[in-house]
Amino acid sequence: MLVRIVQMTFAPDKVDQFLAHFDEAAPHIRSVPGCRHLELWQGAEAPTVCTTYSQWKRAEALDEYRDSDLFRRTWSTVKPLFAERPRARSYTVARPADAIDAAARDATDPGQP
């Protein structure tokens, strides 16, 4: 699995426009084959900073989305709203949550040393 995090900073008067566009585009992005999860975070202390968090079945699925008309249309709408250059990072999952949850259960089991 690949996790993609993209941090975007918008001009203060452009945030609502971005949020409206995200609401329109998100269901289409989420339905792209290989996209497992998509959400948008907005800075609690910096509301002009929005971050997308997405999970992709494999890197090739993200690449296929980035080569799509949907991505090109979305990016061309969003790009003029930026106040700063966006920052994007991709990650592989080194320790999945279910493994951590299982270890936490084992650590709290009174039968364990």
Residue 85 domain-assigned?
A: yes
Residue 106 domain-assigned?
A: no
User: What values do phi and psi take at 58, rounded to 5?
Assistant: -155, 160
- Tell whether pTM > 0.85: yes
User: What values do phi and psi take at 97, rounded to 5?
Assistant: -55, -40
Q: What is the pLDDT of residues 11-33, one digit of tens each?
A: 999 999 999 999 999 999 999 99
Residue 60 and residue 102: Cα distance in Å, rounded?
30
Q: What is the pLDDT of residue 62?
A: 97
CB 26 within 8 A of CB 40: yes
What is the percent of the chain where pLDDT is above 70?
A: 96
CB 65 within 8 A of CB 2: no
Per the structure, how many domains does the chain have?
1
CATH code, domain with 67: 3.30.70.100
Radius of gyration from C-alpha coordinates of the chain: 17
CB 74 within 8 A of CB 25: yes
Residue 30 and residue 80: Cα distance in Å, rounded?
23
- pLDDT-based confidence at residue 92 (cuts at 50, 70, 90): very high
Residue 22 domain-assigned?
A: yes
Enter the tokens of residue 34: 């290989």
**What is the residue range of 64's domain?**
2-92
- pLDDT-based confidence at residue 110 (cuts at 50, 70, 90): low
Residue 20 domain-assigned?
A: yes
